[in-house]
Every structure is written in structure tokens, then in C-alpha cells.
Structure 1
Amino acid sequence: MRVTPQNRQDGDPSRALRAVRVIAPGRLHIGFLDLNGSLGRRFGSLGLTLERPVTRVLMENAAALAASGPDAARAEKALKCAAAEFGVENVRITVEAALPAHSGLGSGTQLALAVGVGACALSGKAIDARDVAHALSRGARSSIGLGAFQGGGLLLDGGKPVSGPRRQPPPLLSRIPIPEAWRILLIFDGGRVGLSGGDEIQAMEELPPFPEALADHLCRLTLMAALPSAAEGDAIGFGRAVGEIQRRLGDHFARFQGGRFTSPDVAEALRIIEADGVPGVGQSSWGPTGFAVYGDAAAADAAAEDLRRRFSDRPNLVFDVVRGNNHGATIDLAPAPALGATV
């Protein structure tokens, strides 16, 4: 997480902090690794932080609490929770950009963390992002969004205890820098949304039993294939492991998302990519956003252009090629006039 003081002179009251801008990255949730829970912990997640899209929030001191911009209602709710938990002062929020909601990119967690951490910073309170996540009820099953916010990278968390009171978000076990040469081809379907809220909770409760042997297999794929391949910059080895994880999980969740993938159009695009020899394809969380992992920019760009031509008759689909993010959120601290001029 980058904290950048801009145009600020410590000890000079005229340069007191008046505004905070937080830029929080989207992330891919590649999958849960153990929905069986027989070892006493459940879930366990693998995820990857993205360069874009992002949530960007400007917060300024104000006479009364207010929020505007895309997803303003959720931003205001997060601010009210932060005010109750941490005693932050009145803040005016401008959501300058928001991750698409219910698309599998972690929009709710990134907005909540951006607002909570930013409001605490604006009020002069040094509150850890992990404590903000717990207070704002984020990270109930996974810490991938929190880990993406705190430091980016390729992330693995250790899941939650199957019994006992609700604790802090799951512990982060591994953070591996995403190789600079890698590119992620993202496939957005603007005509669909993934499960969320009560529908998501109900689906998780009604999933069929998760075989212990499948949990063993997914954990082994992660520890002995995906993570070491990423550490060595091997996109193909990483992709083979991720593709297998996605196939197994997609079939397990198929009843609730209409098939292995939520969007038939995204599924068709992923089949084309896989047929071209790229094994690391999948869907983030409940979708509908799909992804493919490439070892170099030229191949990813060429694939995106080919897909744009093939699907030119489907305006609901958007293709973008992005880098990984290895620093997490960016928090700019500055007097309001200077920060307000920043793009």
C-alpha cells in the first residue's frame, strides 16, 4: 500500500490535511481451495491483484456526512460504519470511479476499505486496514480483497475456522510478486451480474458436499504448481494449475451460475483462448468477469484484438489487457486544493 504525502509540510498548520484520495485495485478471486473443512478450516483462497479497473475515492473534511458519484450509497454506508467504529469526523465522499458491482472484481470490499481507511487517515487515526475490514464486515470468507488492498501481488489465504465466533479476516499466507512480463486479458460482460448478498449466502449453504479428495487436489495444485510457477515467472505452468482449479470449481458451482461460467458469452471467448494454447483461463468469483493469463504483452494484445473482431456483434462484451498490481492501494494525503487538481 503506497501512502504519498503531496505538498504537505509537517508542523505547518496552513498545510494541515484536508483531503485524502484512495485508489483501490480490483482483484481476481481464482477460487476457494477447501470447501470440505474436515481439517478445521474452510475456504482458503487464491487471488491476483489487477492494475485496473480501480475504485477511486476522494474524501474531504466537511460540515456533514455526504457521498456522491457511482456507488455512493454503498460508500455512505461504509462511512457511517467507520464513524460508529472509529469515531471519524464528518467527511464528504466523492466516488470518482468504482469497480463494476457484482462482477467478480471485489467492488464492495475495495470501496469499503477505501472509504474506511481514507476516512480514518483524514481524521488523523492510524487504523490498520485489517481492523477496518473486520469492523466493516469484509473478509467473511476470504482475505484476497484485503491482501490486494494492503500490498497487491498473487495472494493465498488460510481460510476460516469452521466453528467458533466470527474472527478477523483469514490470515494471509503468501504474497508473490506478479511477474512484470505477465498480462491478464479481462473479459467483461455488461449484460450479466454474479451472485451477491442473500443469493450468494443461500448458494454457499446449498452447495453439494465438497469431497475431501478434491480439496486435497486443489491445495496440491496451488502449493506445488501455481505458486512455484508464479515465483519462477512460468505463465504456462501457472496457467495449467489455475485452469484445472477453475474447471473443478466451476463444475461444483454450476448449479447456481448456469454452468461452469456465469456468462455464456464469456465462456465462448474462454474456449477460443484455451483452444489457442493458453491454459490459464477462468472466471473471477461468481463472475461474470472472465480472465486469461499470458506470459507476454504482445500475445495478450493480439488475442484481445482477435476477440474484439470475433465478438463485434456483442456490445455487452469488453476486452482489456492489464498488468498485475504489486503495491496495492494508493493513498494520497494532501491539502484539498492540491489533491483536487490531481487526476
Structure 2
Amino acid sequence: MIKVVSPSRLHLTLIDLNAELGRVDGGAGITLESPGLELSATEADTIEVFGDSLLAVRMRKAAEALLPEGKGIRLHINDSLPDHVGLGSGTQAALSAAAAVNKIYGLGKSVRELAVAVGRGGTSGIGVAAFENGGFILDGGHKFNDKRAFSPSAASHVPPGPVLFRRDFPDWPIVLAIPNTKGVHDAEEVDIFKKFCPIPLSEVQELSHVILMQMLPALVEEDLESFGKAINHFQIVGFKKREVELQPKPVLDIMEYMRDNGASGSGISSFGPVVYGIVGSVGEGKKLQQEAQRMLDESLGGKVLLTKAKNRGADLIGGPD
């Protein structure tokens, strides 16, 4: 039996949904220590998946794409991730199942090869890189001639973009509010891309400037204040601005509260509704966690966690029986 423990991730922003320079997408993200997805796997005659029904469908499809002819696998989802909230559950589910098949049957495929096989990373490469190596990730998107459209990962069929920059993330506590509601997904997500893209070039240039000359130097110098300012700037420019505008008021209230009460930066992950705040100490984090939990309890419901970055990829433990 093998066990696969894969991380969730924060998707901080997509970079270029204008494509005037010939590339599209690109993004920045942070791999998280928790919550995570855990499954155990053994060889079987058919495909069997036990546990979370939504993720089970994705795992079954991923296993089908990798399994040698006539072979099967038994997957038990021991710990699940909430679906369609902005934590990247779809990519982690598909890659976890694929990695289990890869390990059990000795296929020898890389994480990127697995991602291509199961059709993940067609817009953002952050989830794939999080599974592979963890940490803070900046990816370079795709050639627009290859992709030929502005579209989300679920509707894209190109390989993950190249990782331009990967670095261990500092030990800054991260407050993670997970409301009991869903973000935009499936057909609605495709429609949002069609509605808002291409993003004005001036906004893409502004965002690129913030990433190159504020966020990345702040990360290297471990300057939390400047890193937080970059996070805050993301929420008011580019495609992220449109994602933020789609959020229900309680989500926006929590993001604003975090920013005004100790978080150096706060934002929405992907299409939300997950809200994150990055703070300087565990004490500050616990205070924000408590208040954000109260705000959720009085509105949408949900759970607030205190976590940190995970500076390694998925863990594969054990081996074939």
C-alpha cells in the first residue's frame, strides 16, 4: 500500500490575460501545509474509489488515464479538500490518483507528465508545481498560439506553463478562512473568462511591475510588509479584481477585516471564496482566526485555520505490496 499526502495551494493571481506579447496566463501561488488531501492506494483488478464523492469522480478519471490495460487500483480518500473554494482540490485529486498509479505500476512518469496525462495545468501551473516541489511559485503561462483562448484550467488542453521562479516561503503564519459556499466553476467560470478577457494591457503591465519589483524582492529579503502590500495591490487590478468583485459581501468583509487588523496582506485565492491573510506572528494569527471565525459563524458558516506554507511537494509514503 502507498499513501499520498498532497497540499492545497493559494492562487494569488493570474498575470496576463491580455496576450498582446504572445503569451497568456502565468501566475503566482503559495503551497499550504494544511488543509491537505490524503489517500491510500493498493493494486486491484478494477478501479474502486472510496470517500468524498466529488473528488472520487476526478480520481477515477485520472486513474483511467494512467492505468495499464487490464489493471486496476483501489483508492481510499482518508482526508479530503473542499471543492470549488479556491484551494486547488481538482488538481491535487487528479495528481494524487495519478501518482498512486504511477508508483504502484512503476510507470516512471514525472509530475509534469502526469499532469499532461490527466489534463491539469492548462491555465495555472501553480497546483502542479505545488504537488511537485511546494513553496512559492511563479509560472510563465502559455503561448497564445498554442492555447488560442482565454479559458480556465478545466477547459484548457495545454501542458502546465514553465516554472520561472520557485523559492521556500518564509515561516509567516497564514490565516485561512474557508466559507461554507462555492466559488465560480464549470460553465460559469468559462463565461467569466469570455466576459472579461482580454484584460487591458495597462493593468497587466501594472501587475507585472508589482510582481517583479515588489513581491519577488520582498520574498527574497523576507520583507513581510512589502510582500503584503503586493498582495493587497493584486485585489484591485487585473483578472483578480474581477474575481474579487464576484465575492459575496461576508467574504469581502473578512478580507477587509484581516487587512485592517494585523494582516500585512489579505486576498482571495483563485475564484474564492477562500480568504487568506499573512501575518507576522502566531499570536496575531490566532487573534485574526478567532474574529474571522466569529464573522463566518454569523454569515456564511465555515472554518478558519491557522496554517503556513509547505516548502516541499506531495509526500508519497510506502510502496507497492
TM over 0.5: yes
Equivalent positions of 1:18-167 (< 5 A) are: 19-70=1-52, 71-83=55-67, 89-164=71-146, 167=158
* Distance of aligned partners of 1:179 and 1:87 in 2 relative to their CA distance in 1, 3 Å threshold: farther
- Alignment-derived partner of residue 178 in structure 1: 169
* Distance of aligned partners of 1:315 and 1:164 in 2 relative to their CA distance in 1, 3 Å threshold: closer
d(CA) in 2 for partners of 1:314 and 1:149? 33
- What amino acid does structure 1 have at the position aligned with 2:203? L
Equivalent positions of 1:217-236 (< 5 A) are: 217-236=206-225
The answer to whether the 8 Å contact 1:155/1:175 transfers is yes
* The structure with more radius of gyration: 1
Residue 270 of structure 1: which of 245, 255, 270 is its match? 255
Shift of 1:335: 5.9
TM-score, normalised by the number of residues in structure 2? 0.91
Q: SS state of the match for residue 164, structure 1? A: helix
- Alignment-derived partner of residue 204 in structure 2: 215
- What amino acid does structure 2 have at the position aligned with 1:218? L
Shift of 1:263: 3.1
Q: SS state of the match for residue 37, structure 2? A: strand
The answer to whether the 8 Å contact 1:47/1:144 transfers is yes
* Distance of aligned partners of 1:287 and 1:127 in 2 relative to their CA distance in 1, 3 Å threshold: same
* Distance of aligned partners of 1:126 and 1:225 in 2 relative to their CA distance in 1, 3 Å threshold: same
The answer to whether the 8 Å contact 2:179/2:273 transfers is yes
Equivalent positions of 1:191-270 (< 5 A) are: 192-249=181-238, 252-253=241-242, 260=245, 262-270=247-255
- Alignment-derived partner of residue 7 in structure 1: none
Shift of 1:74: 2.0
Q: SS state of the match for residue 245, structure 2? A: coil
Q: Deviations over 1:227-251 (max 9, x none)?
A: 1111221111101001101222467
- Alignment-derived partner of residue 315 in structure 2: 330
Q: SS state of the match for residue 308, structure 1? A: helix
Query: How many percent of aligned residue pairs carry the same amino acid?
Result: 29
Range 129-138 or range 56-65, more displaced: 56-65
* Distance of aligned partners of 1:335 and 1:252 in 2 relative to their CA distance in 1, 3 Å threshold: closer
- Alignment-derived partner of residue 12 in structure 1: none
- Alignment-derived partner of residue 277 in structure 2: 292
The answer to whether the 8 Å contact 2:45/2:71 transfers is no
TM-score, normalised by the number of residues in structure 1? 0.85
- What amino acid does structure 1 have at the position aligned with 2:301? N
- What amino acid does structure 1 have at the position aligned with 2:252? A
Residue 281 of structure 1: which of 266, 290, 310 is its match? 266
The answer to whether the 8 Å contact 2:261/2:288 transfers is no
Q: SS state of the match for residue 235, structure 2? A: helix
**Which runs of 5 or more structure 2 residues have no equivalent in the other structure?**
148-156
Q: CA RMSD in A?
A: 1.9
